[in-house]
Structure 1
Amino acid sequence: MPTALVTGATGLSGNAIVRHLQGLPEWTRVLTLSRSRQVSPHPKITHVTVDLCEASDSIADSVKGQIQGIEYVFYCAYLADPDPDVTFNVNVQMLQTLISVLRRSGALPSLKRIILVTGLKQYGVQLGQPKQPMHEADPWLEGEPWPKNFYYEQQRTLINAAREDGDSWSWVVTYPQDIIGVARGNFMNIATALGLYASVSTSLGQGEIPFPGAKKTYLAFNSWTSARLHAEFCVWAALKPEAGNQGFNVTNGDTESWHNLWPRLVERYGGKIPPVMFPHGDTGSFGDFEAWHSVSQFQPAIVKHEEAIGLKGEFSTRHNEVHQQIDTVKWAQRPEVRAKWEELREEFGLESETWDKATWRFATFLLSREFSCVVSMSKARKFGWTGYVDTWDAFEETFDTLEREGILPPAQKLKRGTHRI
């Protein structure tokens, strides 16, 4: 009867893992840790409010008596900061602290495996176009000219810690892509931003809901990861002996595009697709909204591979431009938009912090990167993983849950407005 510890238990990944473990009768005890919010009460759940930025000895005292006998650790904790050096240091330190807590609190005798959740920054997608598709064996982007990446240091921390403990436990790292899931009070989730954008657009506008991002993004291909499927994978990888000391891409198993998904989203919210989605071509703005541009100071990730693939010099001189025909950050701040949101919030009794917690800048990046973003699932398949979720089904499931939990307004009850945005 396995037992688990889940850190970052109220985030997108952690919340899905906790929910999945609750439904598995063979998992008898789950200890959850988070900084602020508590997980929903459940007979097999014990929650402890812990800040992994604190000293490990004080945390060990807080969880002592609860952590003994824990066999599997699902590490989903993450903190962001505007300063990349702070983000690097704090996220590496939190994992190091957790390992120290396990040692100090007497948890090592029962510990079997730590599962670390990271993402596609593993391949430098935040820097610009990567090699396609991305494979786990791709080289890390380290040293000049690349910025520091805490994913790499976290993985080194796991490798070294396991060796220091005599390889008495093993590790697994997952690389999900653009997770689609639910987390109350933590809305770094493209589904929440999309649901808000479509809800307000339908209620405020004449029904047309333009894609806010770039034309190249609209036509590109992408992989997504259902939070529920990722949770199932993490539990599978925890118990799969052969998966130990390995990193795995984890996506839904299909390849999708916005030009296939967007019409479905618009239809769900009772809107219409504009007959000319990009009236100004690849650049410019839609209506009276300014386009948004950003240029990365770093070279695109594919530069690491350009000589090996016979394209030396093809990418190293390119700039990394991000473009939106509708700047969602500015759109979300417009008086009529916020007023319509407040009207919907009052009408349907929605979570008051939803709008301000929605990560519009995160949506800006995901809707505006002008390259495909596809990963290979071959390694996981070779290890025996057979999980699959249709990406649109994952979005629908998430929208339904966000509506039931009072984060998004119910799409079927929205009224179409008469003010064109």
Structure 2
Amino acid sequence: MEKIALVVGASGITGSNLAEKLISEGWTTYGLARGPKTDIQGLRPVAADLLDTQSLKVALAHIAPTHVFITSWMRNDTEAENIRVNGMMVRNLLDTLSPKSSVQHVALVTGLKHYLGPFDAYAKSGTLPETPVREEHPRLPIENFYYAQEDEVYAASERDEFTWSIHRPHTVIGKAVGNAMNMGTTLAVYASICKETGRPFQFPGSEAQWNGLSDVTDARILAEHLIWASTTEAAKNQAFNITNGEVFRWKWLWSQLADRFGIEAKGFDGTIHPLEAELAGDEQLWRDIASRYQLKEPELNRLASAWHTDLDLGRPIEVMTDMSKSRKLGFTLYQDTRDSFFDLFEQLKAEKLIP
């Protein structure tokens, strides 16, 4: 039977890498976004607004996907608004697809805020989990838009009788422009600015993050995991952590990232140095760098998401995941974290996004 994928959020880090992998494996692949990508060979772009049901009905009128991959979300000013908007986006999509009866599986990408709390409530719930975090950890007793998204998938699954999977990556490392959560590219831009200006490459985060164990998720391994869970019987109707499969300490990795750019690394010095403050006012500097090296993206805020990197690296606890559940069910892929960053840096250089 033909596998027809609808990748929701195909312009982001997760969605674009997933679309490329699906196409390489012979799937008919549609990429839905408000401004869908047209530079992925073989991707069938679908322009639609998830908050506009009429827009969805028109855009999806002649598409009957067997597998839906939801990788999109929208940032709002409050968590209550995050819940309302992001829950509605999932609901509108699945309600629009419901009459087709073609959907066999829905995969939803969320993340470790499932365990840690939302953006504005890290460490405020009073019930932060022990690490490594495990899938069976109960929901936190606070508002969280990930829970709202999950509940919409569960309700639609019961109604339409499709299977589902939930995927919880730690910080996703991969290429994307205009993405709101983009640590790898953000650090590459910061390092490039440090090289141009002679500034030290200062670790922006907390002592707990500097000295503690951590992990990340390469966008390529996340794509593999999404496809695996959606096509493996034992993995259906399950929630999974997904990371590279190794742990590291930032105090070990930071100097290696700096060495890659030929710049001076400075570690944690007793004070958090938010990257958002470090890059504030550098918009014109980046335009000048982009002009000097003929880079494709002159707007700093289209490449760097310092606020999100600050949230990740400023956490007051070490954070890493347990991958046993996926391993037991047969997902055994592994990714070296240094290669995740180094491969990304080379890709950004090759595509003229950094010098």
TM (norm. structure 1) is 0.78
Larger radius of gyration: 1
Give the CA deviation at 1:397.
1.2
* Alignment match, 1:398: 344
In structure 2, how many angstroms separate the alpha carbons of the residues matched to 1:156 and 1:209? 42
In structure 2, how many angstroms separate the alpha carbons of the residues matched to 1:58 and 1:212? 42
In structure 2, how many angstroms separate the alpha carbons of the residues matched to 1:76 and 1:88? 16
Give the CA deviation at 1:30.
0.8
- SS of alignment partner, residue 140 of structure 2: coil
Instruction: Establish whether residue 50 from structure 1 lines up as the match of residue 48 from structure 2.
Output: yes
Deviations 1:220-271 (A, max 9, x none): 1111000010001101111101111100000000001111110111100101
1:27-46 to structure 2, matched below 5 A, reads: 27=27, 29-43=28-42, 45-46=43-44
- SS of alignment partner, residue 175 of structure 2: coil
CA contact (8 A) 2:49 2:55 kept: no
In structure 2, how many angstroms separate the alpha carbons of the residues matched to 1:187 and 1:402? 17
Give the CA deviation at 1:327.
2.9
* Alignment match, 2:240: 248
Give the CA deviation at 1:183.
1.4
| Partner AA of 1:347 in structure 2 | R
Q: 2:187 aligns with which of 147, 170, 194?
A: 194
Deviations 1:278-334 (A, max 9, x none): 55xx23xxxxxxxxxxxxxxxxxxxxxxxxxxxxxxxxxxxxxxxx2x232222124
Give the CA deviation at 1:151.
1.3
* Alignment match, 2:295: 350
* Alignment match, 1:62: 59
1:137-156 to structure 2, matched below 5 A, reads: 137-142=136-141, 146=142, 148-156=143-151
Give the CA deviation at 1:353.
4.7
In structure 1, how many angstroms separate the alpha carbons of the residues matched to 2:147 and 2:203? 34
CA contact (8 A) 2:69 2:107 kept: yes
Q: 1:272 aligns with which of 261, 264, 269?
A: 264
1:4-43 to structure 2, matched below 5 A, reads: 4-25=5-26, 27=27, 29-43=28-42
| Partner AA of 1:271 in structure 2 | I
| Partner AA of 1:343 in structure 2 | D
Larger mean CA deviation between 348-357 and 248-257 belongs to 348-357
Unmatched segments (≥5 aa) in structure 2:
none
In structure 2, how many angstroms separate the alpha carbons of the residues matched to 1:380 and 1:158? 21
In structure 1, how many angstroms separate the alpha carbons of the residues matched to 2:265 and 2:345? 19
* Alignment match, 1:307: none
CA contact (8 A) 1:176 1:225 kept: yes
CA contact (8 A) 1:7 1:34 kept: yes
CA contact (8 A) 1:75 1:116 kept: yes
1:1-400 to structure 2, matched below 5 A, reads: 1-25=2-26, 27=27, 29-43=28-42, 45-55=43-53, 57-65=54-62, 67-68=63-64, 70-104=65-99, 106=100, 108=101, 110-126=102-118, 127-128=122-123, 129-142=128-141, 146=142, 148-165=143-160, 167=161, 169-205=162-198, 208-274=200-266, 277-279=267-269, 282-283=270-271, 324=272, 326-334=273-281, 337-357=282-302, 358-400=304-346
RMSD: 1.8
Give the CA deviation at 1:202.
1.7
In structure 2, how many angstroms separate the alpha carbons of the residues matched to 1:391 and 1:46? 31
Give the CA deviation at 1:40.
1.6
- SS of alignment partner, residue 135 of structure 1: coil
| Partner AA of 1:350 in structure 2 | L
Give the CA deviation at 1:125.
4.9
CA contact (8 A) 2:79 2:144 kept: no
Deviations 1:125-178 (A, max 9, x none): 542253211111111113xxx2x112112222222222122x2x1000000000
Determine which structure has the larger helix proportion and give its number: 2
Among the aligned pairs, what percent are the same residue? 30
CA contact (8 A) 1:185 1:353 kept: no
- SS of alignment partner, residue 14 of structure 1: helix
In structure 2, how many angstroms separate the alpha carbons of the residues matched to 1:38 and 1:374? 32
In structure 2, how many angstroms separate the alpha carbons of the residues matched to 1:375 and 1:252? 10
Judged with a 3 Å threshold, the aligned counterparts in structure 2 of structure 1 residues 345 and 236 are, in CA distance, closer, same or farther, namely same
Larger mean CA deviation between 128-137 and 173-182 belongs to 128-137
CA contact (8 A) 2:36 2:46 kept: no
TM (norm. structure 2) is 0.92
Give the CA deviation at 1:112.
1.1
Larger mean CA deviation between 253-262 and 399-408 belongs to 399-408
